[in-house]
Amino acid sequence: MDRYRKQRLFGAAVRAAALLVVGVMLLVVSVTLVRGGRVLLTDPTIVVTPPGSRYMLEGTGGFLHAVLGSAFIVGPATAISMVFAVSTATYLQSDYSSERFSESVNMFLNVLWGTPPIVYGVFVLTIIIAVGAQTSLLFGIVAIAIFQYPIMTRYTDEALRAAPDRVRESTYGLGATRFESARMTVRAAAPGIIAGLIMGFARGIGDAATVLFTTGRSTRMPGGLLDAATTLPVLIFDQAMSFNPEVRSHAYAASFVLTVVVLGLILVSKLLAGRYARYTP
């Protein structure tokens, strides 16, 4: 076969593969958006209405409890995870630890990243049983934070590694301490770190397995940190199995909310990263 035909053939194959993937993705998203959107257009208040007493059976009321559950679990979890992730990643840079040590830690983090989230769920459940506690919002936060930690740490580590060494050298040259220098490196790596933050949040808010048996799958409004709660993905899971079409339709509405939130976050992260990127050498 002549070289140019080979090239054309390869080009066509690549385009077809891309088209297939994008097509499937569009289908998934648009089915969710159209179906969910239709439900929400008919009654947008279901997002901000607490569930009725027979919500899971008859679909009375709305799913505010899951929206709040998601926000109150994933928000704090992301914040906690971020603090640990940035600290760990900073520690893994050459100023503090040796190359060999960071390599092994990074490998371990990659394994954790690849661990199925249900495993974290089981792990936290074991803790709940061991301490004799009950499933609650608090343990949901713990489970999600553990789940997000390796993702965010790897993102942050890569971002810090990609930040120019010259920034570090410049700050030291001005008489900065290790801490001051690390802070400046974090700033220089801000676009990548923000990407990691949003990625962690998006993964956290979309995960059902970790919270499935750590938060309690409650069908009432969460009252406090030690109260049972639920999140949007778990709600979708529960509703989608319902025999009542009304309840099933809520699953689409919830999916719509979830998709839009994640999409919005990614846009925000792009904007933020772009702002910081102007400052990056």
In Å, what is the CA distance from 210 to each residue of 118, 122, 123, 126, 130?
A: 5, 8, 9, 13, 18
Residue numbers 42-101 binding other proteins by CB under 8 A: 94-95, 98-99
**Residue 184 C-beta: closest distance to other proteins, Å:** 6
Q: Which is nearer to other proteins, 187 or 270 (CB)?
A: 187
Q: Give the orientation angle of helix 99-114 with respect to helix 137-162, to 10 degrees.
A: 140
* 272 in contact with other proteins (CB under 8 A): no
> Token pair of 129, please?
């049983």
Residue numbers 190-249 binding other proteins by CB under 8 A: 190
Q: Is 23 helix (H, G, I), strand (E, B) or coil?
A: helix
Q: Which is nearer to other proteins, 50 or 173 (CB)?
A: 173
Q: Residues with Cβ < 8 Å from 260, sequence gap 6 or more?
A: none
**Residue 98 C-beta: closest distance to other proteins, Å:** 7
**Residue 205 C-beta: closest distance to other proteins, Å:** 29
**Residue 123 C-beta: closest distance to other proteins, Å:** 36
Token look-up 């990263």 returns: 273
Q: Which is nearer to other proteins, 69 or 196 (CB)?
A: 196
Distance, CA of 208 to CA of 241 (rounded, Å): 15
**Residue 32 C-beta: closest distance to other proteins, Å:** 39
Nearest to 199 by CA among 149, 236, 161, 163: 149
Q: Which is nearer to other proteins, 43 or 169 (CB)?
A: 169
Distance, CA of 35 to CA of 69 (rounded, Å): 23
Q: Which is nearer to other proteins, 173 or 264 (CB)?
A: 173
In Å, what is the CA distance from 193 to each residue of 83, 138, 160, 176, 199?
A: 12, 26, 8, 22, 10
* 274 in contact with other proteins (CB under 8 A): no
Q: Which is nearer to other proteins, 194 or 254 (CB)?
A: 194
**Residue 99 C-beta: closest distance to other proteins, Å:** 8
**Residue 190 C-beta: closest distance to other proteins, Å:** 7
* 158 in contact with other proteins (CB under 8 A): no
Nearest to 85 by CA among 201, 168, 177, 164: 201
Compute how many residues bind other proteins; rule: CB under 8 A: 27
Nearest to 36 by CA among 263, 255, 259: 255
Q: Which is nearer to other proteins, 143 or 159 (CB)?
A: 159
CA atoms within 13 A of residue 245's CA, in its CB half-sphere: 2
Residue numbers 166-195 binding other proteins by CB under 8 A: 166-177, 180, 184, 187-188, 190
Q: Where does this chain bind other proteins (CB under 8 A)?
A: 94-95, 98-99, 164, 166-177, 180, 184, 187-188, 190, 276, 278-281
